Amino acid sequence: MNAPAHPQMHLHKVDLKPKDYKTDTPSFWCAGCGHFGVLTGLLRALSEIGVDPNHLVNISGIGCSSRLPYFVNSYKMHTLHGRAGPVATGVQLARPDLSVVVTGGDGDGFSIGGGHMPHLARKNVNMIYILMDNHVYGLTKGQCSPTSRPEMKTTTTPYGGVEEPLDPVLYMLTYGATYVGQAFAGNVKLASQLIKDGMEHKGFAFVNLLSQCPSFNDIDTAHAFKDACDQVPDSHDTSDLSAAMNAVNAAKQAGRIPTGLLYKTERPTLDQRMAELVERVGGHKDYDLRKIIDLARP
């Protein structure tokens, strides 16, 4: 493969303001929704990196969060519920010279799409996955999501939940994501920094952004999220996986939420390994689809 393997190795950088990455489509979320902060953080990150919109692909699934690509000046794909990850993997492998950004919610990513998340991490797909975690299904009017608290009364759990909420950050640390960060969406400065660093990271970057839903979640409000967040200290060793997991677990036991960069490491990415495999077998010239089809015939 002659295309560069790193998603931020663009043909050239551009000098654009955050507003230049915003399309003319009005951002249609409920007033007070945390997703506005996520969008602002992403636009700022794109501007700081200097991403050429012509080399940017924003992919999403289904949900309030998955509307975000409509508002970003980029190529975009609004895919099936939970399937943004596999589609983004295909895009990244086909065009490793592009920046691939996935934006989705806790229901889309960790319910119907939950089976894909471990494989994005373990394969180390060279892209960033921005999870807009509001602990509820918003677009379909307030059902319990994988990250909902048991005490939440939703349309599907009118007496409260009976399941333990899933922790997206622990999930991604466990399955091998090479960059994991977390922030409150209202802290745009930190959210933007994590997105920027995640996009410049060589490997699978996962950023969990806690985003309040004023319409269907009256427990995890913007005030509640802000008050519960503690940024990890400067002394936190981001290269230590155990330290990252311990930080998350300790915070959970204290009823707190750790924010900032929790873990970062490097290992070969999926597109790098695929390129090496192609070269090892003789390069693209040895691939002949007709021969493959003939070999597959009974």
pTM comes to 0.91
Say if residue 187's pLDDT is above 80.
yes
Spacing of C-alpha 293 from chain mean position:
36
Average pLDDT of the segment spanning 123-137: 97
- pLDDT reading at 285 higher than 90: no
In whole angstroms, give the CA distance from residue 127 to residue 55: 13
pLDDT at 213 over 80: yes
In the CATH scheme, what architecture does the domain 18-267 have? Answer: 3-Layer(aba) Sandwich (3.40)
Cα–Cα distances (Å) from 220 to 32, 44, 133, 146, 229, in that order, read 13, 25, 10, 14, 12
**Of 20, 31, 113, 138, the residue nearest 71 (C-alpha):** 20
Q: Give yes or no for residue 222 having a pLDDT over 60.
A: yes
The predicted model gives 3-16 an average pLDDT of 62
Domain limits, the chain: 18-267
Q: Which amino acid belongs to residue 259?
A: T
pLDDT exceeds cutoff 50 at 178 = yes
What are the tens digits of pLDDT across the range 82-119? 999 999 999 999 999 999 999 999 999 999 999 999 99
Mean pLDDT of the chain: 92
Say what the pLDDT of residue 277 is.
Answer: 85
- The mean pLDDT value for 227-251 works out to 97
Q: Once rounded to an integer, what is the mean pLDDT over residues 227-246?
A: 97
| pLDDT at residue number 162 | 93
